Amino acid sequence: MNPSLIAAGFFFAAVLIAIGYFIGRRRRKVTKSIPEGPIIQEDERQRMLGLLEGLSRWTNEYSGNVSNYQSELGELSDAMRISLHQSRSGAARNGRANENQQASDARMVTLINQIMSTNTELQTRLEAAEQQLEEQTEQIQSYLTEARTDGLTGLFNRRAFDKKLDEMFSAYRAGGKSFTLILMDIDHFKMINDTHGHPIGDVVLQQISQRLGHGMQDAEIVSRFGGEEFAILTYLPIRAAADKVNKLRDRIANDSIEAGSAELQVTLSVGLSTPHEDLVIGPIVRRADEALYSAKNMGRNRVYFNDGNGAQLINAPEVVRS
């Protein structure tokens, strides 16, 4: 068999493998996981719609590039088959095999060069397309992250927390596991802002958030509930959760926070609750609030829990006896 035909065959196989590789890579890029987002509000829905419309326009253009490339390859392949057929027919008619073979080889070289040029052009387009697709994906991921995250502290925001609470309560009502809601508040935070200024207050919020995140890594969600208040959801039983958060509260109270030139002792008041034959979420949040206010009213820097039997101080003698 003519070496040129063998080379052409290997080249076509390489082209097909390259196409499969590039398209496969892009499919994997497109299916990159995106974290589940919160319920989208109207203004955010419009922003997301704009992102998706941009992505749709780009994918249509990309699809057209690949379609055009496949069409060009088909035309070149047909032309090569015609060239081979003409060469063989000419050799059969007049026996001028060498002359026809040379003409056929020249035609195939031209066609192969055209294929290589087309392949190079598509590769350039694919590389540009990959970069654009990654940028589009990063924009959507960034939007979803912003929609679920508190900008100052990096914790989940109130919206993400409410969504998680709804999910866990629905699962509980369907026969799933119980859970514990933890609400906590930075004591005398207004005084910190008034005395040292809001930038120092922001540093305090960031430092406390970091310590809560590290101290409650096994929680389902740690969030900034609003202002100086934080909310946590965990599957730990309420007394185990109260004990754990009490130890964390004690570490924070005994470890000063450096903010600029100030060195502050910051304490937390904490309230916990758990579902107690509740049909809706409201009573669970209300009991945690009651426990939190008990902690504040009884001197702050302490943990109270409410398991449906009223607010109780963690590690209080009456609790230990029970």
- Domain CATH code at residue 192: 3.30.70.270
How high is the pLDDT of residue 27? 45
How high is the pLDDT of residue 317? 47
Q: How far apart are CA 130 and CA 126, in angstroms?
A: 6
How high is the pLDDT of residue 87? 62
Q: How far apart are CA 230 and CA 215, in angstroms?
A: 13
Q: Which two tokens stand for residue 97?
A: 């095999």
Do 209 and 130 belong together in one domain? no
44 lies in a domain?
Answer: no
- Give the domain-ending residue among 113, 147, 181: 147
Q: How far apart are CA 101 and CA 65, in angstroms?
A: 35
Q: Give the range of the structural domain holding residue 206, as residue numbers without chain letter.
A: 158-313
Do 124 and 181 belong together in one domain? no
294 lies in a domain?
Answer: yes
43 lies in a domain?
Answer: no
Terminal CA-CA length for the chain: 93
How high is the pLDDT of residue 260? 80
32 lies in a domain?
Answer: no
Do 271 and 164 belong together in one domain? yes
Do 136 and 253 belong together in one domain? no
Do 142 and 164 belong together in one domain? no
For the beta sheet containing 268-273, the strands, ordered from the edge strand earlier in sequence to the opposite edge, are 221-226, 229-234, 180-186, 268-273, 303-306, 311-313
Pairwise pLDDT comparison (49 vs 11), residue with the higher score = 49
**Model confidence at 90: pLDDT above 70:** no
60 lies in a domain?
Answer: no
**Model confidence at 313: pLDDT above 80:** yes
**Model confidence at 91: pLDDT above 60:** no
How high is the pLDDT of residue 26? 46
Please, what is the Cα angle at 306 between 187 and 231, to 5 degrees?
50
Q: How far apart are CA 211 and CA 234, in angstroms?
A: 16
DSSP E strands: which ranges in 187-281? 221-226, 229-234, 257-259, 262-264, 268-273
Q: Which of 42, 228, 258, 318 is catalytic?
A: 228
190 lies in a domain?
Answer: yes
Do 136 and 192 belong together in one domain? no
233 lies in a domain?
Answer: yes
Q: How far apart are CA 293 and CA 297, in angstroms?
A: 6
- Give the domain-ending residue among 94, 125, 147: 147
Do 185 and 293 belong together in one domain? yes
Using alpha carbons, list the distances in angstroms from residue 133 to 39, 45, 141, 285: 25, 21, 12, 43
Do 267 and 188 belong together in one domain? yes
Do 170 and 306 belong together in one domain? yes
How high is the pLDDT of residue 228? 96
Q: Region 225-249: what's the mean pLDDT?
A: 96
Q: How far apart are CA 128 and CA 266, in angstroms?
A: 52
- Are the C-beta atoms of residues 216 and 268 closer than 8 Å to each other? no
Tally of CA atoms within 13 A in the half-sphere of 258 that contains its CB: 1
Do 118 and 226 belong together in one domain? no
Do 143 and 229 belong together in one domain? no
- Are the C-beta atoms of residues 273 and 291 closer than 8 Å to each other? yes
120 lies in a domain?
Answer: yes
pLDDT band at 225 (very low <50, low <70, confident <90, very high): very high
How high is the pLDDT of residue 291? 97
Range of lowest pLDDT (58-62, 90-94, 111-115, 183-187): 90-94
Domains of the chain: total: 2
Do 303 and 250 belong together in one domain? yes
Question: Which contacts (CB < 8 Å, 24+ apart) does range 265-268 have?
Answer: 266/186, 266/187, 266/192, 266/204, 266/207, 266/208, 267/186, 267/187, 267/300, 267/301, 268/184, 268/185, 268/186, 268/187, 268/208, 268/301
Each residue's pLDDT tens digit, 20-51? 544 455 444 444 333 444 445 556 666 666 66
Q: How far apart are CA 281 and CA 287, in angstroms?
A: 10
228 a catalytic residue: yes
- Give the domain-ending residue among 83, 112, 147: 147
Pairwise pLDDT comparison (71 vs 281), residue with the higher score = 281
